[in-house]
Amino acid sequence: MHELSITTSMLDIVKEHMTRHGAEKLRSLKIKVGEMAAVEPQSLLFCFEACTKDTPLEGAVLDIEVIPLTGRCRECGTEMRIDGYSAQCPKCRSVSVEHLSGHELAIVSMEVE
């Protein structure tokens, strides 16, 4: 499962951070996930709970921020919100649109003690 490998590598980063700071408990973890990252927040939450159970990370709150897919027209520079997979510039109708956000998959912050 896609979400499981993401969770595992995310938790590796968290554990490394905790070791470096001598922390024993994870209170919360905030991550951002782009719409295009093909990640289901629900299954991510499920994997997170499953992976942290019976570890020092158990009970931590996972906060998932979903980043909407946005783009910019390569012809006229108009920025837009993209719904679905194909994008068209609302101004000049060009389909040459580059993605600005929506592919993120990263840890924003974590709270340890």
Q: Which is nearer to Zn ion, 62 or 71 (CB)?
A: 71
**Cα 22 to Cα 13: distance, rounded to the nearest angstrom:** 14
> Which of 35, 49, 75, 111 touches Zn ion (CB under 5 A)?
75
> Measuring CA to CA, which residue among 78, 66, 59 is closest to residue 37?
66
> Which of 70, 78, 88, 101 touches Zn ion (CB under 5 A)?
78
> Which of 76, 100, 106, 108 touches Zn ion (CB under 5 A)?
76
For 62, the 3-state DSSP assignment is strand
Tally Cβ neighbours within 10 Å of residue 76: 12
Report in angstroms how near the CB of residue 75 gets to Zn ion at its nearest: 4
Contact positions toward Zn ion, by CB under 5 A? 73, 75-76, 78, 89, 91-92, 94
